[in-house]
Amino acid sequence: MTMTPNLPLSPLPSRAGRARPIAVGGPEDDDGRRRGGDDANFETGTVTKTRPKTKRPNLYRVLLLNDDYTPMEFVVLVLQDVFNKSREDAMQIMLHVHQKGVGECGVYPYEVAETKVTRVMDTARKNQHPLQCVMEKQ
Ligand code: TYC
């Protein structure tokens, strides 16, 4: 009987020098948001991270500061005109600022907040009132 010479067993493909799948975190990112799901393909060593492409806009609070000179009625009109508040809400916010020194007029994406601050400052300057309006990252 003829014997086929024993061929050396072919070694298992080595991973040396090739990308290996890596463990990809838990169910949440650093900021606590869920990812869409992770998929590690161990055949090819390819790790695909998928996450929803939705981004929360950076939001900014627009604040009014109190001063001793700007007339209450002017502040109420600014709140109605620039921040689209009802007369009642505008009065409440103005009184809050008057009593506490600072108060929130609204929360908006960066460019909207910036435009509102500019409108308040422009109308205050034109009317020679020292009213101050600022924005801060939420
Ligand atoms: N303190 C002002 C006054 O007594 C009124 C005022 C309220 C001014 C709110 C500014 O952001 C302000 N006339």
pLDDT digits (tens, 9 = 90+) for 71-124: 999 999 999 999 999 999 999 999 999 999 999 999 999 999 999 999 999 999
Residues 109/138, Cβ–Cβ less than 8 Å: no
49: confidence class by pLDDT, cuts 50, 70, 90: confident
By most ligand atoms within 8 Å of CB, the mutation choice from 62, 64, 72 for ligand 1 is 72
106 token code pair: 């609204």
Residue 136 has pLDDT above 50, yes or no: yes
Residues in the chain: 138
- At residue 8, the pLDDT reads 42
By most ligand atoms within 8 Å of CB, the mutation choice from 63, 73, 85, 97 for ligand 1 is 97
Cα–Cα dist 116/97, whole Å: 17
How far from each other are the two terminal CA atoms of the chain, in whole angstroms? 85
Residues 24/38, Cβ–Cβ less than 8 Å: yes
Protein residues whose CB sits closer than 6 Å to any atom of ligand 1: 64-68, 70-72, 75, 94, 97-98, 131
30: confidence class by pLDDT, cuts 50, 70, 90: very low
